[in-house]
Amino acid sequence: FGQSTANEIQHKTSFDVSFIGTGDASSTAQAFKTVLKTTDWVCFVQALHSIQSLNQQVGDLCQSTALPVYNNQMVSLTEAPMADLYVVTSPMNARSLLKREEIDHSYPFIAIGKTTAQALKSLGMKRVLIAQQPNEESLVEAVIHHFK
């Protein structure tokens, strides 16, 4: 998880946060690998339908378990609104939006990170921009930059 999640945990619990990721699975995994020991036990707190990208990249370096704490499910869309830009924050969001909707493949999309961008591209979207950092602030900057 990133800084915002760490802040929330520290604000609402007595837990210490000993590692803060970047929000990007690849760079977080690289940094996480430098502090892991094979005797460490890591609990990956996540969504029920998580793609588990971090788990997969570091799971063989330590003992780990996945703990789903919420259920993220796709909802049935009757119709997606037409937009000048679509902002997508997860691969599941991309799949849910594009599962039933015929959105022109040339419409612009902004993805929160690389994994979401890959999902959009695999679904045929051609104009996919990626926020500089996988966080809300970078998404806002990307939207502003798009409309300039």
* pLDDT tens-place string over residues 60-74: 788 888 888 888 887
Instruction: Indicate the burial class of 75 (C-beta count within 10 angstroms; 0-12, 13-18, 19 or more).
Output: exposed
Q: What pLDDT score does 50 carry? A: 83
* Beta-bridge partners for 70: 47
Cα separation of 131 and 101, whole Å?
24
Q: Give the pairing of strands 86-88 and 63-70.
A: unpaired
Q: Is 37's pLDDT higher than 70?
A: yes
Q: Is 23's pLDDT higher than 80?
A: no
Q: What pLDDT score does 1 carry? A: 66
Whether 100 and 72 have beta carbons less than 8 Å apart is answered as: no
Residues 6+ positions from 23 with CB-CB distance below 8 Å: 1, 2, 113, 133, 134, 135
Q: What pLDDT score does 100 carry? A: 67
Task: Give Cα separations from 63 to 21, 25, 56, 59, 86 (angstroms).
Answer: 19, 18, 12, 7, 39
Cα separation of 46 and 29, whole Å?
16
